[in-house]
Amino acid sequence: MRITALAGGVGGARFIRGLLAHLESRPDLAGSRVTVIGNTGDDITLFGLRVCPDLDTLLYTLGGAVSDTQGWGRADETHRVQGELAAYGVEPQWFALGDLDLGAHIARSQWLGQGLSLSEVTGRLAARWGLPERGVTLLPMTDTPVETHVVVDEGDGPRAVHFQEWWVRMQAKVPASRFVAVGMDRAAAAPGVLDAIRQADVVLLPPSNPVVSIGVILGVPGVRDALRGTPAPVVGVSPLISGAPVRGHADACLQAIGLDSTTAAVAGLYEDFLDGWLVAPGDEGSVSRRGLAVESRPLLMTDVAAAADIAGAALDLAERLRPA
């Protein structure tokens, strides 16, 4: 089976890890190929190094190297380099860069500097983490640098800051009024992205942030059209449970674009292409649209087995929705 998923960081990575575990338990699905289209709107250049937080979270999680307590970054991480940067007075210091993590940023920056595309660089990084052997292709949504900026007002008038500054430094506590994907007007989908959606047997939307992760990927020219046009069923997993994000700040993001923090509001963002929608028990009632199959089940990804069960349920729902 050809499965294509759009993914942000932690939630997306844990879902895909569960999906792979599920596939490995299904002899009937042996040989399945999973293409993950990762959000690159969170990317940032720090200390001259190109950092791709969502792609790295996907790589580390699928490569078995993620810090499970954090959900992102490397296990057994240290911060000796960053301690030095602080001692030298280099700014900014609000974004934690571990030593092991820096290896990826330096490798990526070196290769980008040599003229490789982000797709090519991501392929090289993925090789180290064994993704090809597991049947996984990780694609950045675009090879064009796109950065999500956030319009905030700390009391002295509106100004735009990089998404990471809002998310990490401000902890999303400063109200946002708008998100702008800077560079998107010049962006094209990375090679393979649109075909992966058009030629999939199933398209999955993991429980990633609907605004700043999935929403940004949907803004890449051609992606939304490909989702509308694909013959594959498109099944999403709600990132909200009883109206609250399990982690992250999806509620603040929805509020910024004028939406309630509800499963229905999220489904509304996908209404032109969503076929199936997995929600948490108790959240079914709020969603109803002709042609949308809604199913409820526990959605907390407490461990890999729980995530595998959720992914399996999404595949089952897709199977039932697939045109005969």
| Interface contacts to its own copies, rule CB under 8 A | 47-49, 78, 80-85, 87-90, 99-100, 102-104, 106-107, 109-111, 113, 124-125, 128
**CA–CA distance, 163 with 29 (Å, rounded to integer):** 38
Q: Can you say whether residue 141 is alpha, beta or left, with left for phi > 0 and alpha for psi between -120 and 50 degrees?
A: alpha
Please identify, using beta-carbon distances, which residue of 22 and 105 lies nearer to its own copies.
105
Q: Are 216 and 185 in contact (CB under 8 A)?
A: no
Q: Which of 9, 11, 22, 5 shows the shortest CA–CA distance to 311?
A: 22
If the CB atoms of residues 80 and 173 are measured against its own copies, the closer one turns out to be 80
By C-beta, is 128 or 320 nearer to its own copies? 128
> 88: closest CA among 48, 49, 47, 50?
47
User: Least distance to its own copies from the beta carbon of 111, Å?
Assistant: 8
- H helix runs in 174-258, sequence order: 193-198, 214-218, 223-229, 250-256
Q: Residue 245: phi, psi to the nearest 5?
A: -70, 145
What is the smallest separation between the CB atom of 115 and its own copies, expressed in angstroms? 13
Q: Nearer to its own copies by C-beta: 77 or 225?
A: 77
Minimum separation from the CB atom of position 85 to its own copies (A): 5
Instruction: Return the amino acid letter for 267.
Output: A
**Min CB(66)–its own copies separation in Å:** 15
Of 29 and 100, CB closest to its own copies: 100
Closer residue to its own copies in complex, CB, 98/219: 98
Beta bridge partners of 88: none
In the chain, what are the helix, strand and coil shares in percent, each to the nearest 5? 40, 20, 40
Question: Who contacts 285 (Cβ-Cβ below 8 Å, separation ≥6)?
Answer: none
Q: How many CA atoms lie within 13 A of 128 on its CB side?
A: 14
Shortest Å, Cβ 65 to its own copies: 10
- CB 112 to its own copies: min, Å: 9
Q: How far is the CB of 171 from its own copies (least distance, A)?
A: 25
Our CB check for its own copies shows the closer of 88 and 291 to be: 88
CB 13 within 8 A of CB 53: no
